[in-house]
Chains A and B, each alone.
Chain A
Amino acid sequence: MMPVTKEQVLEALKNVQDPDLHTDIVRLGFVQDVKICEGSVAFEIKLTTPACPVKEKMQKEAEVAVRALPGVENVTVKMTAEVKSNLSPSKEALKGVKNIIAIGSGKGGVGKSTVSANMACAFAMEGAKVGLLDADIYGPSIPIMMGKPGETTIREDLIQPKVAHGVKFMSMGFFAQGDQPLIWRGPMAHRALEQCLVDVQWGDLDYLFVDLPPGTGDVHLTLVQTVQLTGAVIVSTPQDVGLTISMKTLRMLQQTNVKMLGIIENMSYHKCQNCGSREEIFGHGGAKTASEKLEIPFLGEIPLDIAVRLQSDRGTPLVVSNPDSPSAKIYRDIARALAAQISIASYSAPKLEIVETS
């Protein structure tokens, strides 16, 4: 019997689709390194994110498709990932950063930083290179949540980000220690954010999350003017007052052409530790309804869980300390949904460059 050819394998794999990009995996260039030795076929599927929510499904489909070919006995599919970049190579210091994602809210106190810290850790757990920039000048809480307060060091004129739980992070809080406030007018906030982006040795990152202060202030404006964001995520509680104000931040980002990657509903409900009954303290489903109206992906709902708060205060985000707890699982599912949206955004975003001619 004739051994199967590479062409036959690729033809068979054309039946496997990426459900997010709606294109087959061969045309997307995901299939690499096809090796055939008599009845054994091995190849690699290179995804656009290690946190791909349909990784297992795609692997299975590819395996089945190739195994169906006559003469094939063994199929080995290796799943790898290479995150696609969405940034123009304009800012030298950020040249190793492939995607910058802003996490914002309208109101304060909706759990933006908790969500950011858990998202960053969840992405890192999937094997991605992740950075987290705490740009909240009024309430920089990331150092506490990541368990590493204190000062940063400077090497070769560059600020060295701290590393915790596999995430590189930098905080505006490092500019003023302990209970010292940052009392800044616009220009200072602008300079500080610019410094956090450009003067930090971020190195190679697949994803850099920026935890924004609430609202639509100087920090937001500087961010959308300084870098090309892959997109933004809005965190909101389900209650009307929170949602209405979230819309302002959302509109501001849209006006500056920032792609909305999705809405996350935080403090969605509380499950009583004693009786297990579900209490919807801030109402429920408001963010989902809003996302449908605005045609923005809804990424998920996170319950009010005492474990989330406890672990944040202890400096080990829940996804790291109790990865198998119900709330951590919700966080990790949201991270995968977000990773898919980021891949779609980088895949479809036009890349603008200024050409000079004489």
Chain B
Amino acid sequence: MIASVQPSGLKKIGTREFEIRWSDDHTSLYGFRYLRQNCQCALCVDEWSGQPVLVRESVSKDLEGLSVNLVGQYALQFGFSDGHSTGIYTFSHLRKVCPCDTCKGRAADPQDKKFLDKSDTRTRS
């Protein structure tokens, strides 16, 4: 299903932040560390059980984003300074984990809460 909300602008801000403007005029600002912690690839989330494999706190606070590529027209792929790049971040997933106060407050699925990291200030209000 084509999700109703699509990105209209994608901006990599230095090596620390990434911004997505959405078709509904919402703007999401992600730290690259936060994105790394939310990686959904098979190395970071168990494919069968859906349980997280990656220990979120183990991601270095100095982690940087080195590259961003479009995957077809439905997702993004990030290259991080820890060498990890296997995650495919679909637009709908990125919107779901938008760290802004409004989205966080609205998150209906309690599962979403586990993506919020205590040590990452950008993900907290």
Contact = CB atoms under 8 A, between A and B. Distances in A.
Given A353-B10, A355-B9, A355-B12, A255 B1 contact: yes
A258 B2 CA distance: 8
B21 to A, nearest CB: 10
Interface in B1-52: 1-3, 6-14, 23
A354 B13 CA distance: 10
B74 A354 contact: no
30 contacts: A88-B70, A224-B74, A225-B71, A225-B72, A225-B75, A225-B88, A227-B72, A229-B72, A251-B1, A254-B2, A256-B72, A256-B75, A257-B2, A257-B6, A257-B73, A258-B72, A258-B73, A258-B74, A259-B2, A350-B23, A352-B10, A352-B70, A352-B73, A354-B11, A355-B9, A355-B11, A356-B12, A357-B11, A357-B14, A358-B14
Contacts of A354: 10-12, 68-70, 76
Contacts of B68: 354
B65 to A, nearest CB: 10
Size bracket, chain A contacts: 20 to 34
A357 B68 CA distance: 12
Nearest to A255: B1
A226 interface: yes
Interface in B45-90: 68-76, 88
B1 A256 contact: no
Interface of B: 1-3, 6-14, 23, 68-76, 88, 91
A258 B72 CA distance: 9
A355 B10 contact: yes
Contacts of A353: 10
A152 interface: no
Given A350-B6, A352-B10, A358-B14, A90 B72 contact: no
Given A224-B74, A256-B74, 18 more contacts: A224-B73, A225-B71, A225-B88, A229-B72, A251-B1, A256-B72, A257-B3, A257-B72, A257-B73, A257-B91, A258-B72, A259-B2, A354-B11, A355-B11, A355-B12, A357-B11, A357-B13, A358-B14
Please list the 10 inter-chain residue pairs (A to B) with the smallest Cβ-Cβ separation, ordered nearest first. Answer: A257-B74, A256-B74, A224-B72, A257-B73, A354-B10, A356-B12, A355-B11, A225-B72, A225-B71, A354-B68
A210 B12 CA distance: 32
Contacts of B6: 257, 350
B12 to A, nearest CB: 5
A236 interface: no
A90 B8 CA distance: 18
A88 B69 CA distance: 12
Contacts of B72: 224-229, 256-258
A256 B14 contact: no
Nearest to B91: A257
Interface string A316-358: 0000000000000000000000000000000000101111111
Contacts of A254: 1-2
Given A254-B1, A257-B2, A350 B8 contact: yes
A192 B8 CA distance: 32
Interface in A178-231: 224-229
A358 B8 CA distance: 20
Interface in A300-330: none
